[in-house]
Amino acid sequence: MLLFENLWALASLLVAVETALVVIWSRRRTRASVWAVLVGIGMIPACFALSVLVETPRERVIAFCWELARAVDDGEVASIAEHIAEDFQTDGHDRSAFVERLEQTLTRFRVDHPRLRNFEVMFPTDESAVATLTATCGVRSVDAVFDHLPSRWRLTLRRDGESWLVVKIEPIPTAPLNLRHLRDWLR
């Protein structure tokens, strides 16, 4: 799976394999070793095309997280609400309470340029996933400005056709704020 998700790892592997094929050809100089080198060269674009065309389940979850981050950046609460499961429960908030608090928070605070990294994605079942990630963004309000606010989150997801629904969101305490509860983030 790693090779389909990471073009650098794929490129490194292809260079190593092609180098080995060229070394074999340079020592043997046989017709078969020439064909091996040529087939290896032909496989390079095929492997890159396959890597770009194949979307792994992990990549789908990461893309979903980025979609949510863009919606937060744009303040599109309705778009976020579409991806919240009806049975959502987190930190004393059900779906409607969470969406309401989120709308109030995004009205008072402006989130700018979220950047997501350090993804850890697990699939406890075929129909569920748990994504843990680090998010960094700028936050502005009338009272305060944070140019670089790091946070860490755990999202529990349930498959909904080809997409996902958020069942639970948990903040993971991260300096400088070290907030442990979602209600603290949604003040």
pLDDT exceeds 60 at position 3: no
Question: Does one domain contain both 11 and 29?
Answer: yes
pLDDT exceeds 70 at position 54: yes
Question: Does one domain contain both 179 and 128?
Answer: yes
pTM: 0.76
Name which residue leads in pLDDT, 178 or 175: 175
Question: Does one domain contain both 95 and 15?
Answer: no
How far, CA to CA in Å, does 1 sit from each of 5, 11, 48, 59?
Answer: 7, 14, 14, 10
pLDDT score recorded for residue 5: 67
CB 114 within 8 A of CB 136: yes
Based on the structure, what is the number of domains in the chain? 2
| Whole-number Å distance between alpha carbons of 128 and 167 | 9
Question: Does one domain contain both 82 and 125?
Answer: yes
Residue 34 pLDDT class (50, 70, 90 cuts):
confident
Residue 17 pLDDT class (50, 70, 90 cuts):
confident
Secondary structure of residue 139 in the 3-state scheme: strand
Question: Does one domain contain both 46 and 84?
Answer: no
Question: Does one domain contain both 34 and 81?
Answer: no
pLDDT score recorded for residue 11: 81
Return the CATH number at 69: 3.10.450.50
HSE-up of residue 16 (Cα within 13 Å, Cβ side):
6
Tokens of 96: 């409607």
pLDDT score recorded for residue 72: 92
Mean pLDDT of all residues in the chain? 85
> What domain range includes position 66?
57-185
